[in-house]
Amino acid sequence: EPEVPSFIASKVSQYSCQRKTTLNNYNKKFTDAFEIMAENYEFKENEILCLEFLRAASVLKFLPFPVTRMKDIQGLPCMGDRVRDVIEEIIEEGESSRAKEVLNDERYKSFKQFTSVFGVGVKTSEKWYRMGLRTLEEVKADKTLKLSKMQKAGFLYYEDLVSCVSKAEADAVSLIVKNTVCTFLPDALVTITGGFRRGKKIGHDIDFLITNPGPREDDELLHKGLLLYCDIIESTFVKEQLPSRKIDAMDNFQKCFAILKLYQPRVNNSSYNTSKNFDMAEVKDWKAIRVDLVITPFEQYAYALLGWTGSRQFGRDLRRYATHEKKMILDNHALYDRRERIFLKAGSEEEIFTHLGLDYVEPWERNA
Ligand code: DCP
Ligand code: MG
């Protein structure tokens, strides 16, 4: 049988930061089911079971072959009973009845719709669901609801925002952001992070990291025009503050969850569009695109880049590894060595891996 000879299940690390995970997933059948289970637990705010399924998904994404028998997962980490039950059923039946139940569950379906709106998270969904609301149409029709500025923008540009961002759109936006930033800060470094840096061809948003070498003059950058919608979060980072221990820590950088207006060349379908009566004004020639802009001090750039490149699971495991294997605390700003009681400086991602005693993992190998 075509088994990869160098693959030894018992040597697979429980930490995804010690594995190389490309976008080449041989076990999508399984990982899709796990991600549905995980999302349902997230909606129920059951972090433990959510992480159990996300970790299992991440292990199967790393496997260099498709799982076809229970023997294939023998010795692998993160394969608890709940996970094994789902795998077994998919092997035998071709699909998971539990994942299917979730997809048909009323609460899950409502939360899935609600959280697809920019600015709506689990907390808001919970509130709407308790009020008896079930669909986005019902939410929109309820005039007693007080929507935040972010949620109003989310509904206004909903269709554009749920349609994913392509690599081509990311490249176009990248040029605009770079040009705009450089007119204010000529020496600034602008880097695409998130899924696109990991080689993904589509994403739900485009993440940028902006830093300015030399003296800090970037505070005003986000306050100058460029954006359709912009929610600026001021930096709350205080010098010498210890890294956060939270598993999904929100960082303290100045950042902006924005919606950008991307003008697109109109698709010119000459047989229809040349009509004299064709009203050009009615054709929307732009698309709303979600963009995260994160401004980082130059000394923290490497940590911010590592954190914002993700994947989320890769970041969680880096922090868990730092805490449990190295007695260090890692977040998007810094790495603190608790034994030595010092902050470890890093000018590149490679140096952070070295501080942690880890082999370097390339961005496209962080799709855990
Ligand atoms: N991130 C972070 N802190 C936050 C938000 C995100 O460290 N407060 C990190 C984890 C993510 C990365 O930034 O991996 C980018 O976040 P996204 O939610 O945009 O995730 P991706 O870019 O990986 O996926 P998508 O294609 O859905 O945008
Ligand atoms: Mg992203």
Q: Measure 271 CA to ligand 2 centroid, in angstroms.
A: 38
Query: What is the structure's pLDDT at 242?
Result: 79
Query: Could you tell me which residue, 153 or 267, shows the higher pLDDT?
Result: 153
Ligand nearest to the CA of 198: 1
Mean pLDDT of 251-278: 72
- Residue 256 has a pLDDT of 83
Q: Which residue has the higher pLDDT, 126 or 227?
A: 126
Contact 170, 203 (CB under 8 A): yes
- The model's confidence at residue 145, banded by pLDDT at 50, 70 and 90, is very high
- Ligand 1 pocket test: pick from 58, 197, 205, 250 the residue with the most ligand atoms within 8 Å of its Cβ: 205
Residue 44's pLDDT is 98
Q: What is the ipTM of this complex?
A: 0.96
Average pLDDT over residues 303-331: 98
Catalytic residue numbers read 205, 207, 292
Strands 335-337, 328-330: pairing is: antiparallel
Taking the centre of ligand 1 as the mean of its atom positions, its distance from the CA of residue 312, in whole angstroms, is: 6
Quick one: pLDDT at residue 3? 59
Model confidence over 171-190: pLDDT tens digits?
A: 999 999 998 888 888 899 99
Domains and CATH numbers, the chain: 9-102 (1.10.150.110), 106-156 (1.10.150.20), 165-298 (3.30.460.10), 313-365 (3.30.210.10)
Query: pLDDT tens for residues 26-52?
Result: 999 999 999 999 999 999 999 999 999
Q: What is the pLDDT of residue 86?
A: 98
Contact 264, 287 (CB under 8 A): yes
How large is the average pLDDT for residues 232-244? 72
For the segment 340-346, the average pLDDT, to the nearest whole number, is: 98
Query: What integer best gives the mean pLDDT of the chain?
Result: 91
> Per-residue confidence at 249, pLDDT binned at 50, 70, 90?
low
pLDDT at 279 over 80: no
- The whole-number pLDDT of residue 244 equals 81
**Residue of 323, 313, 318 whose CA lies nearest to 303:** 318
pLDDT, average across residues 91-99? 98
Quick one: average pLDDT of 230-258? Answer: 75
Question: Pocket residues for ligand 1 (CB within 6 Å)?
Answer: 194-195, 200, 203-205, 207, 250-251, 307-308, 310-312, 315, 332
Q: Which residues contact 146 (CB under 8 A, 6 or more apart)?
A: none
Tell me the DSSP string of 116-172. TSTT--HHHHHHHHHTT--SHHHHHH-TT----HHHHHHHHTHHHHHSPEEHHHHHH
Going 199 to 202 to 204 to 210, the CA torsion angle's sign is positive
pLDDT band with cut points at 50, 70 and 90 for residue 257? confident
11 pLDDT higher than 80: yes
DSSP strand pairing (286-296 vs 206-211): parallel
- Using the predicted structure, report yes or no on whether residue 232 has a pLDDT greater than 70: no
CA angle 223, 159, 263 (to 5 degrees): 55
pLDDT > 70 fraction of the chain, expressed in percent and rounded:
88
Q: How far is the CA of 175 from the centre of ligand 1 (A)?
A: 20
Tell me which of 192-201, 221-230, 237-246, 263-272 is least confident: 221-230
**Mean pLDDT confidence for 2-22:** 89
Looking at residue 269, its pLDDT comes to: 59
pLDDT of res. 35? 98
pLDDT value at position 234? 67
Per-residue pLDDT at 252 = 80
DSSP reduced 3-state for 290: strand
